Amino acid sequence: MARILLIDDDEGFRGMLQRTLQRAGYEVVASGSGKEGLDLLSRVRVDLVLTDIIMPDMDGLEIIQRLRQTQPSLKIIAISGGGRKKPDSYLKCAQLFGALAVLTKPLDNQQLFASIEAALCSDGAGEG
């Protein structure tokens, strides 16, 4: 069973997505902030990181950059609902920084699961 680290500061969304992933058979470790997520990664092995982009303490782009430096082969999927800009702007940057896939909120579960499976089956980090 694959273990996913879910990082999202929106408690309601994070809880809903955690339950959705668990029902699909994934083991999920959840974090409400980027700093907490990186701390969890120092103690827990995961197969994939699913991170929001817009968060107050450390945004998802910084998380992706740090993970590419410390764990270059770790699979990462970025999600965003936007913010002041359209989500596409942030998600394009996430891909350039090394996210294997990017998804726009609200998430389509079929697309989410397909992206997770494709990332888990890939042999390396994203290009960039």
Q: Where are the domains of the chain?
A: 3-121
CB 21 within 8 A of CB 6: yes
The pLDDT of residue 91? 87
Burial 93-107 (b: 16+ CB within 10 A, else e): bbbebbbbbbbbbeb
**Which residues have CB under 8 Å from 100's CB, separation 6+?**
75, 76, 77, 115, 118, 119, 122, 125, 126
What pTM did the predictor assign?
0.91
The model's pLDDT over 51-99, given as tens digits with 9 standing for 90+, comes to 999 999 999 999 999 999 999 999 999 999 865 556 567 889 999 999 9
Q: How far apart are CA 43 and CA 59, in angstroms?
A: 21
The model's pLDDT over 93-122, given as tens digits with 9 standing for 90+, comes to 999 999 999 999 999 999 999 999 999 998
Return the CATH number of the domain spanning residue range 3-121: 3.40.50.2300
The model's pLDDT over 20-55, given as tens digits with 9 standing for 90+, comes to 999 999 999 999 999 999 999 999 999 999 999 999
Q: Is the pLDDT of residue 126 over 80?
A: no
